[in-house]
A and B are shown apart, each in its own frame.
Chain A
């Protein structure tokens, strides 16, 4: 299976900054997911998208199918946004396949 690449691996920013995390993949996908993992292990699904753009509060996710690229943006970042953000994809082909994951971006927002 093809890999999912995320960048940056680590990101430290000041409170209030605009954050961008990138994700790229190499072959066709059916859906792309952005997940959030806080210390202690729990994983929460933030977005699932297959085209265009989605927004939820201060979080925005975009996907460009032609370029095989997605971005997760956080506006007006806050220390509570500190977490690992993980990009994952369902590869095309149908069925109930599990996800293929990027290695995650460790985000720290300093007050």
Chain B
């Protein structure tokens, strides 16, 4: 059974803290993604990675960074958490086959609250 796991389901942090959200997939997928989901705005892409040590900005990268040191792991980092980063964070992965797209597999999400 394919799996994308995220390190925490719920997380509470204080303003200014450095926050790490971890995502691991066991499907040997090349592509990994971080999204955030907010009421009324839907899901939006923060960053994605198509290979180890490679990263690309998505639609809303400001205030975030990422790290992909191993193929199976993709980390989202909030360098200095702010209250407007309170959100549901979802990780996803997909296989890359040349020029074709494939379905994305999502993790269960991390609900982050920044106080």
Contacts and interface: CB of A to CB of B under 8 A. Distances in A.
Interface residues of A, number: 26
Interface of B: 30-31, 33, 35, 37, 40-45, 48, 50, 56, 58-59, 88, 90, 92, 94, 96, 99, 101-106, 108-109, 111
Interface stretch (A61-69, A70-78, A94-102): A94-102
B8 to A, nearest CB: 13
Interface of A: 1, 30-31, 33, 35, 40-45, 48, 86, 88, 90, 94-104
Nearest to B104: A45
A42 B43 contact: no
A48 B43 contact: no
B40 A41 contact: no
Contacts, number: 65
A99 B88 contact: no
B25 to A, nearest CB: 14
B104 A42 contact: no
A33 B103 contact: yes
A96 B41 contact: no
30 contacts: A33-B103, A35-B106, A41-B37, A41-B90, A42-B108, A42-B109, A44-B106, A45-B103, A45-B104, A48-B101, A86-B42, A90-B101, A94-B99, A95-B50, A95-B56, A96-B30, A96-B31, A96-B48, A96-B50, A97-B56, A98-B35, A98-B58, A99-B43, A99-B104, A100-B45, A100-B59, A101-B43, A101-B44, A102-B42, A103-B41
A104 B45 contact: no
Given A42-B106, A48-B101, A99 B45 contact: yes
Given A41-B108, A86-B42, A94-B99, 10 more contacts: A30-B101, A33-B104, A40-B108, A45-B103, A86-B43, A96-B30, A98-B45, A98-B92, A99-B45, A100-B59
Contacts of B108: 40-42
Contact of A41 (B88, B99, B103, B104): B88
